[in-house]
């Protein structure tokens, strides 16, 4: 079994990496500092709809890896649905750390920071 970085330290790393890349990051929900999991909400500017959010989570695969995967995207016609989903997600898992990153090319940034790119 591989040792896991405490969630609080990993969260700080994500925030610093986003800021170093010229983006902005903040904690939307603070989970358990040691055993919590991390989910990322990224905001990217869409020319017609303003900022649109996407939720990223580590999803387990059959080979044991857990790559970051976009699990929910904000619908520009019903932005509140995304916010409601996030509220339910954090209520269901109080140990969850939810970070918001406003960063250019979120998919590439996440892959590079997580060592998947």
User: Does the pLDDT of residue 2 top 70, yes or no?
Assistant: no
Q: Set out the domains of the chain in order of their start, with CATH numbers.
A: 7-113 (3.40.1530.20)
Cα-based angle 110, 50, 71 (whole degrees, multiple of 5): 40
End-to-end CA distance of the chain: 23
What's the pTM value of the predicted model, to 2 decimals?
Answer: 0.89
What is the DSSP secondary-structure string of 41-100? Answer: EEEEEETTTEEEEEEEEE---TTS---EEEEEE--TT-HHHHHHHHHHHHHH-TT-EEEE
- pLDDT tens per residue, range 75-99: 989 989 999 999 999 999 999 999 9
Instruction: For residue range 5-58, list pLDDT tens digits in order.
Output: 899 999 999 999 999 999 999 999 999 999 899 999 999 877 676 778 999 999
> Where do we find the tokens 């995304």?
82
Residues in the chain: 117
């Amino acid at each position: 079994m591989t040792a896991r970085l405490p969630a609080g330290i990993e969260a700080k790393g994500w925030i610093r990496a986003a800021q170093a890349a010229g983006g902005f990051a903040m904690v939307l929900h603070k989970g358990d500092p040691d055993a919590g999991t991390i989910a990322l909400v990224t905001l990217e500017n869409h020319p017609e709809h303003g900022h649109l959010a996407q939720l990223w989570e580590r999803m387990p695969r059959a080979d044991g890896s857990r790559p970051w995967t976009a699990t929910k995207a904000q619908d520009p016609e019903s932005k509140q649905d995304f916010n409601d989903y996030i509220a339910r997600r954090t209520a269901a898992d109080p140990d969850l750390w939810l970070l918001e990153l406003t960063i250019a090319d979120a998919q590439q940034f996440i892959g590079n920071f997580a060592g998947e790119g």
